[in-house]
Structure formats: C-alpha cells, structure tokens
C-alpha cells in the first residue's frame, strides 16, 4: 500500500522547528501588546464574497489562487487567503468600531493559496498581522512602519531594506488609471491575457503581474506619484518626515502597488535578498475604503502582515541564535514497581510546579533508562530503588557537572526547585563575571 504524504505545498512543522516558531510568535505578540494591539482569531474559512469584495476580483489571489468550494448547504466557501478581510468582517460583525478608537487588533493565522510551491512560498502558510482602525493621520502610518521595523530590530536583522510608496485615493487614482490605460493599450499585443482583462477593470493590477514580459513592459509605465492629489501628496510627505525624524532609512519605490485591491495611500514592504526570489518578508499599508466596501460606515484603517515561514528562512540564513531547545528538567529512573509508583508521584508534583519531569514508560532496565535520560538531555536524574524508598532519601544528580545532592521524599519538590534556581543563578553570575572581565 502506497504511503500517504502531506499534500503538495504543505509541510509538517516538526517539534524542533515548532519550538523556533513558537518563540518567534511569542515575541511578536508581546511586541504587538506594547503597541496596544490585542489578539483576534477568525475562522479558517469565510463566505467567498468576503474575499471577492475585499481582496478584489481582479487580483491574482481571487482569480487564480483561492481554495474555493461548495459546502453541503450549497454555499460558496473559501479558505482564507489572507488575514485582513476576515479581521474587518469580524470587527464589523461584533460592533468593535463602536468602542474607543483607534481599535488595534493582531493575529497569528494560517492562510491558503494555490501557488507554485517554492522556498518561502507554500500553499498553506502562516502570517502574523496587525490592523488599526479609526486613525487617518499620517502619524499612524509612520508608527505602523516603526512597529514593523521594531520586529527586525528584535531579531537583529540589519540587512533588510524598507521600500515605501503612495498609491493615492480614488480621486487621484482615476487620473492615473487613464494614463495607465493609454500606455498599456499601445502594448496590448505584448501583455498576457489576464492583463488584457485587467486593462479595463483595474489597470494598476498589471503592475503586480508575475509574468516577466508584463513586468518588463510595466517598467516604462506612468508613475502614480506624478498623479497624487494634494491631500495624498501631503499625507505621503508627512509619513516620510516622521520616518526621517526617527532615523529610519527607506527608499521610495513608485512601482510598489501590493497584491490586493483594498490598499490606498501609503504602501510599504520590507525586503531581503537572503531568501531567494521571495524577497518581501513583510508588507502592508493603508486601506481606508475597505470597511465601507464590506458594509460598514466609512472608517480609515491600515495594517501589515508578514509570513512566518519567510521570517524563519531569513533568520536561519542569517544564523540567528534561537533559544536552546527545551529539554527535560529531571528524569526519574526506577528499579522495581514500588520505585515506579514513587517516580510517578514525584514527577506529578514537579509538573504541577511547572517543571518538565519524565519517567520510564516502557519498562526499560536501569542502564537503558540512564541512556534515555542522556538522549533527551535531562538536566538532572534521580535513581529510585527499594533502599531509597526505605531510607526516604533521594540522590539528585546534575548531568552537566556530575554533582550529587540529597533530598528527603517529603520535601523533594521544594528542595529540587531551590537546587534548580541556585544552578541558574550560578550560571548567570558566572556569565556576568566573564562579561565584566572582557570589558
């Protein structure tokens, strides 16, 4: 019988990798809280029209990449291809915009797009994202970008570049669309069939086409910055001014339009050349019309999202020092049934105190148990035999130093905790001494 494997474009996240990702996610959520963002969780699937209306029916995401199916009730359902549309739907459905504004939410979520799998691009992937509702001023754009930059500062990523652009509002974009139509009409025979369709509905989408010929032709097309109205121009200048004041290096890239139709005014990307062709690690911007588009009262909004898999790829490429993998704090070896019962009771007591305590579950001999304790990297071991139970005293061995300490049964948990903390304090003290001597 053929072996069943994971579907193409998906991956299993094994324990070693999952520990890295959990560490990353914890740091991201903690930083989000520092900026006033609270976590939001939405369903993995939504009604299809949410994404057709929100993401835009001329985007590659809607036209080519969504996982859409009919459920047993005959409804068209789509696995979420991105996080923003679902977040806006949730905020509107639960009346959160009636609360104090600005409203800030964050999320860690899985997304699904039918794309050609490659490094940094999977059909099931994970995003960290934030959305801010009710803030129209350019200071909000600047702080959002500073938040994003702060992420890379935390992970000590310095070879990443920030690119920003303004794609204007409905008014100034209407003039820009006309200029684009005029330009691409003369190139109609050279662009792909999809872009020919986009020419009438949304010519700006041509700038985001993945087809090489279309991208080459687009290089000479009109630039949105030449068509900005006074309000959009002033907004963009203010954003740049705030970034300059905070010492943020950036490049204005007039070709950034982002891959989703809901963006307005400021758009930005953090790009790295350390992860191959999929260089954008984080992207976002303002989407002032989306709340109204999805049935709410007009409300300014902005946000960003970053691919967790791409961030991991980047950090691994830069040899980022992830925290050491967690190992068992203590392993109880036992000799006989009574000793096994004692090991079970003591391990439960330590687990209740927050330690990782392990015991023999498969009936190994003492030698095999010690081997296993080494294999799982247990920090301490205790051997329990009939004599130890009779005497009521246990010997705790530090597997790194070989030192042995004693404890009675009754106060074992308390004594072990004190011993554990003492060793940590000692290590920290030694580390500080080394640092001081080096200085």
DSSP string, 252-320: E-TT---SSTT-EEEEEEEE-SSSTT--EEEEEEE-TTHHHHTTS----EEEEEEEHHHHHHHHHHTT-
Backbone phi, psi, residue 111, to 5° = -130, 160
Count of C-beta atoms within a 10 Å radius of residue 293:
16
Task: Please report whether residue 438 resides in a domain.
Answer: no
Between CA 364 and CA 376 the distance in angstroms is 15
Q: What is the pTM of this model?
A: 0.87
Give how far Cα 192 sits from Cα of 62, 179, 220, 292, Å: 17, 19, 17, 32
Q: Do 87 and 109 reside in the same domain of the chain? A: yes
Of the three residues 317, 341, 356, the one that is the final residue of a domain is: 317
Domain that holds residue 107: 15-168+246-317
Q: Do 353 and 374 reside in the same domain of the chain? A: yes
The total number of structural domains in the chain stands at 3
pLDDT value, residue 174: 86
Task: Please report whether residue 191 resides in a domain.
Answer: yes
Task: Please report whether residue 4 resides in a domain.
Answer: no
Q: Do 160 and 269 reside in the same domain of the chain? A: yes
Spatial CB neighbours of 250, under 8 Å, sequence gap ≥ 6: 161, 162, 163, 164, 240, 243, 268
CATH value at residue 338: 3.40.50.800
Backbone phi, psi, residue 109, to 5° = -150, 155
Residue in the block written with tokens 């977040």: 87
Task: Please report whether residue 83 resides in a domain.
Answer: yes
Q: Do 163 and 174 reside in the same domain of the chain? A: no
Q: Do 250 and 149 reside in the same domain of the chain? A: yes
Inform me whether the pLDDT recorded for 373 exceeds 70.
yes
Between CA 180 and CA 206 the distance in angstroms is 9
Q: Do 310 and 403 reside in the same domain of the chain? A: no
Residues 385-436 have pLDDT tens digits of 988 898 899 999 999 999 999 999 889 999 999 998 887 776 655 555 544 4
Task: Please report whether residue 8 resides in a domain.
Answer: no
Q: Do 352 and 337 reside in the same domain of the chain? A: yes
pLDDT value, residue 427: 60
Mean pLDDT of all residues in 296-304 = 96
Mean pLDDT of all residues in 152-167 = 93
Of the three residues 273, 292, 317, the one that is the final residue of a domain is: 317
SS3 436: helix
Query: Looking at 183-187, 256-260, 339-343, which range is the least confident one?
Result: 256-260
Q: Do 60 and 141 reside in the same domain of the chain? A: yes
Q: Do 358 and 215 reside in the same domain of the chain? A: no
Task: Please report whether residue 363 resides in a domain.
Answer: yes
Q: Do 344 and 382 reside in the same domain of the chain? A: yes
Q: Do 144 and 20 reside in the same domain of the chain? A: yes
CATH value at residue 147: 3.30.930.10
Q: Do 151 and 251 reside in the same domain of the chain? A: yes
Mean pLDDT of all residues in 220-229 = 92
Task: Please report whether residue 234 resides in a domain.
Answer: no
Inform me whether the pLDDT recorded for 306 exceeds 60.
yes
Of the three residues 294, 317, 340, the one that is the final residue of a domain is: 317
The pLDDT-based confidence of 358 (bands split at 50, 70, 90) is very high
Task: Please report whether residue 295 resides in a domain.
Answer: yes
């Amino acid at each position: 019988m053929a072996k069943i494997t994971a579907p193409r474009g998906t991956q299993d996240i094994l324990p070693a990798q999952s520990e890295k990702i959990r560490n990353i996610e914890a740091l991201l959520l903690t930083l989000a809280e520092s900026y006033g963002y609270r976590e939001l969780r939405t369903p993995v699937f939504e009604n299809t029209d949410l994404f057709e209306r929100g993401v835009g029916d001329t985007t590659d995401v809607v036209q080519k990449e969504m996982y859409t199916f009919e459920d047993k009730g005959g409804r068209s359902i789509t696995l979420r291809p991105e996080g923003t549309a679902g977040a806006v739907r949730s905020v509107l459905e639960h009346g959160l915009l009636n609360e104090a504004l600005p409203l800030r939410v964050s999320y860690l979520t899985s997304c699904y797009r039918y794309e050609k799998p490659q490094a940094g691009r999977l059909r099931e992937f994970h995003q960290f994202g934030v959305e801010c509702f009710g803030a129209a001023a350019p200071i909000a754009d600047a702080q959002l970008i500073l938040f994003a930059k702060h992420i890379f500062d935390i992970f000590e990523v310095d070879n990443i570049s920030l690119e920003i652009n303004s794609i204007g509002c409905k008014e100034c974009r209407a003039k820009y669309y006309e200029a684009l139509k005029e330009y691409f009409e003369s190139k109609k025979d050279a662009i792909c069939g999809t872009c020919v369709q986009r020419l009438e509905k949304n010519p700006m989408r041509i700038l985001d086409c993945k087809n090489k010929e279309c991208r080459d032709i687009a290089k000479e097309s009109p630039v949105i910055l030449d068509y900005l109205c006074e309000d959009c121009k002033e907004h963009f200048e203010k954003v740049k001014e705030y970034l300059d004041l905070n010492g943020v290096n950036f490049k204005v890239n007039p070709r950034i339009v982002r891959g989703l139709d809901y963006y307005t005014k400021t758009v930005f990307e953090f790009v790295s050349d350390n992860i191959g062709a999929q260089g954008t690690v984080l992207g976002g911007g303002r989407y002032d019309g989306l709340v109204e588009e999805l049935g709410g009262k007009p409300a300014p909004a902005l946000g960003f999202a970053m691919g967790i898999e791409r961030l991991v790829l980047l950090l691994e490429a830069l040899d980022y020092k992830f925290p050491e993998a967690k190992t068992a704090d203590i392993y109880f070896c036992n000799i006989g049934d009574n000793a096994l019962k004692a090991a079970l009771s003591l391990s439960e007591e330590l687990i209740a105190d927050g330690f990782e305590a392990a015991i023999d579950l498969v009936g190994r001999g003492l030698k095999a148990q010690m081997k296993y304790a080494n294999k799982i990297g247990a920090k301490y071991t205790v051997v329990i035999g009939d004599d130890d139970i009779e005497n009521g005293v246990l010997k705790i061995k530090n597997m790194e130093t070989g030192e042995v300490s004693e404890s009675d049964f009754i106060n074992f948990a308390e004594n072990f905790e004190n011993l554990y903390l003492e060793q940590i304090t000692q290590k920290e003290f030694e580390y500080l001494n080394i640092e001081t001597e080096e200085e």
